[in-house]
Structure 1
Amino acid sequence: MGTYTITRRKLNAFHRKQLKKVLNIKYPVKITNSSLYNKCNERPLSIFILESRWRLFGHILRRNSQISANQAMGGYFVKEGSKFKGRPLTTLPVDLNRDLSRIINSNLQLKSSHDLEHLRSIAQQRDEWTKLTARIREAAEASQSEH
């Protein structure tokens, strides 16, 4: 189990704890996670964060290519020098690629500037971007329900 999965689980557990406090549900009383989310009309916090990340990414991709955020994304894929030692850094492109890899039967990825340009072309069509974000959310929800 990776650091990303552990962090996501801790975040969701903290969120559920806060929801139980709001509903005044204490120790001997048990409630399933899905029942808790339904009762509060909520969903896991990690799913909300994932959707927000992809909405922001789409917004950035639709903006002018000269803004700092677009230049930083493009600069990420320019490889200079040798790799550093140690665990790979968790960066926004790494998280976005991890989200894309969850989609079944999809050849979408974010590993090069060519992939970034392909996603930029999808982002220009808002309805297509919304569909992509929904597919990513559904894949994330399915992977959470398996655990």
Structure 2
Amino acid sequence: MTTPKRGPRNRTSLAMMYVGAGLTVIAALFPFVDRSTTTVLADHIKASYPAYQPGAIDAAVAAYLAVLSTIGVMGLLGWAGAIWAVRAGMRWAPRLAGGLLAIAICVAIAALAVRDTSGDVGLAPLLGWLLVLPCVPGLVAVALWRRAA
């Protein structure tokens, strides 16, 4: 096994990964906070489907919470794996981070762009943009590695 490089770019990349993990936690928890406070998701569903009764809206919100929770857990597992690879000095850590970034960007684009049967975007735009936030520090970390190579 090789000794981990601790250059300034590697430290900055690692710091960006921790920031990304923190933003992933915020993006995963916000829909739960929203459910009991601002109701952005429920209001979006109500606007998209005016004929839905409150029970149907609650069921749709619960389904979205399950999907967003799964995305959040998978994102945190990805961050944990990438952070471990960097801290362990694995040579393939930049490729892992780049691949995970590509997956995260695809998920974020899908959250922002996929339309449901009403013709409106399925996920409330605020929640879709929250999924983009963790991609920014991931992009910085990967860009720093590319510059170092």
Provide TM-score, normalisation by structure 2. 0.30
Name the structure where helix makes up a greater proportion of residues. Answer: 2
Q: RCO higher in 1 or 2 (8 Å CA, sep ≥ 6)?
A: 2
